Amino acid sequence: TGDGGPAVRRLAEWNEENLIALAEEYETPLYVVDLDRVEENCMRLLDAFPDADVRYAVKAHSGRAVLRTVREAGLDAECASAGEVERAFDAGFPGERVQYTAVNPPAGDLDLVMERWRENPGLTITVGAEDTVERLRERGFDGRLCVRANPGVGAGHHEKVSTGANAKFGIPIERVADLATRWAADFDLVGVHAHAGSGISGEDLSAHRELVSRMGDLTREIESRAGGLEFVDVGGGFGVPYEEDEPPLDLDAVAEATREALGEVEATLAIEPGRYVVADAGVLLTRVNTVKEARDATVVGIDAGMTTLLRPAMYDAYHAIANLSAGDDAEEIDATVAGPICESADVLCEHRPLSRPDRGDVLAVGNAGAYGYEMSSTYNSRPRPAEVALSGTTVRLTRRRETLTDLTSLEQ
Ligand code: LLP
């Protein structure tokens, strides 16, 4: 409430005046991403999973500065589209550190990824449907293939982010060993993959354990029938605290539970965290436009909306909010913080204690680094925000603010 939770506290080491100065210099809404924090998060993962391949799920934040930081820290790139594959190469990942996880892939994606594969045969393609394999075969692919299983175990902070039991993703796990054995004849079968969903939390590791244990069984079966696999990828979904009083995930405990549930396999364990790498490295700075008394709350109108940060509207997600401009002794009000989009879902929070804001105050929204800018849109003809990256004591504009001219530039 008062201090905006871990992400804001961390960036507040940069101190409130500096964040307000950033809002003044670059205007709002403004995403701020702390690359040192991204690096620390990578290191924490590598320390907890020293023998695993750690692959960053690019979809959480695909900006070049973040991708370069993640690459330098030693993580691989897990890409959900041809566009993300292009971004991974653009950020300097070598082909052998790029995995493309094809989700109902459009033909153009397969064409582009095949082009990249011809130049970089170390690239791995993960398939989640039998006909994707046929489509790759038609295009001449005989390279590194990974099979995505639908493990029948879902998890996540919201049903909309639970993938493990969703029919759209992967091949039912009971069919994977037969198919993989068959495909091993024509492709370089390197791994199996599954992802339960987003949001493994310290309180409930049961779904994660169950998924990993099923993947362990699958790996052993394939290893005995089709020969060795290079890796068994158990997906991402490592949670971060969004609420101010939530404890951080105990990564060592997750790592131990993962090892235990996997059992003995020859394959290397692989994980694909996205959120964990970037969530708490980012804040969104936004300015107060309007303060008005409504029937049962004070409505604080800000210049960031669901087009800037979609998560609250889409998943009822909680993001901590701090008023950076308020003094320590400011009165707390019961605030509903709303954006400028003409939709009733465009509300960042309802009935949240907040230091009384005045028009012009700068608010910081915590944990905005993951799935923040990435899910932004231009609905209501709102240009996308700018983003700056912090590294040491330097600030760099990493994405300029979109303009109204940008918005009309595609019109013919
Ligand atoms: N691997 C695969 C195959 C995935 O589908 C995902 C996320 C990840 C890894 C990374 O999951 P993470 O570690 O970030 O939880 N927009 C939603 C999250 C959707 C995640 C979709 N897949 C949100 O803002 O909560």
Q: Please identify, by atom number, the ligand 1 atom nearest to the C-alpha of residue 275.
A: 14
Phi–psi pair at 331, nearest 5 degrees: -70, 145
Q: What is the distance in A from the centroid of ligand 1 to the CA of 234?
A: 13
Distance CA 98, CA 80 (A): 11
Q: Which residues sit opposite 286 in a β-bridge?
A: 363
Compute CA distances 133 → 103, 104, 148, 187, whole Å.
12, 11, 12, 10
How far apart, in whole angstroms, are the C-alpha atoms of residue 243 and residue 122? 41
| Residue 366 among known ligand-binding residues | no
8-state DSSP, 89: H
Q: In this structure, what DSSP letter does residue 81 have?
A: S
* 364 vs 374: CA distance, rounded Å: 18
What number is the average pLDDT over the span 283-289? 97
Residue spans in the chain of domains classed CATH 3.20.20.10: 35-278
ipTM of the complex, rounded to two decimals: 0.99
How does strand 268-271 pair with strand 53-57?
parallel
pLDDT of 221 above 90: yes
Architecture of the domain whose range is 5-32+279-402? Beta Barrel (2.40)
Q: Is the pLDDT of residue 154 over 90?
A: no
Q: List the catalytic residue out of 42, 79, 146, 342.
A: 342
> With a 6 A CB cut-off, is 163 part of the ligand 1 pocket?
yes
Q: In the numeric block, which tokens belong to residue 335?
A: 């605030």
Per-residue model confidence (pLDDT) at position 2:
46
> What's the CATH code, domain 35-278?
3.20.20.10
Q: Is 58 in the pocket of ligand 1 (CB under 6 A)?
A: no
**Does ligand 1 come within 6 angstroms of the Cβ of 242?**
no
Q: What is the C-alpha end-to-end distance of the chain, expressed in Å?
A: 47
- Banded model confidence at residue 265, pLDDT cuts 50, 70, 90: very high
CA distance 219 to 236: 18
Residue-averaged pLDDT of the chain: 93
Q: Which of 369, 334, 362 is nearest to 349 (CA)?
A: 334
Q: Is this model's pTM higher than 0.80 or not?
A: yes
The boundaries of every CATH 2.40.37.10 domain in the chain are 5-32+279-402
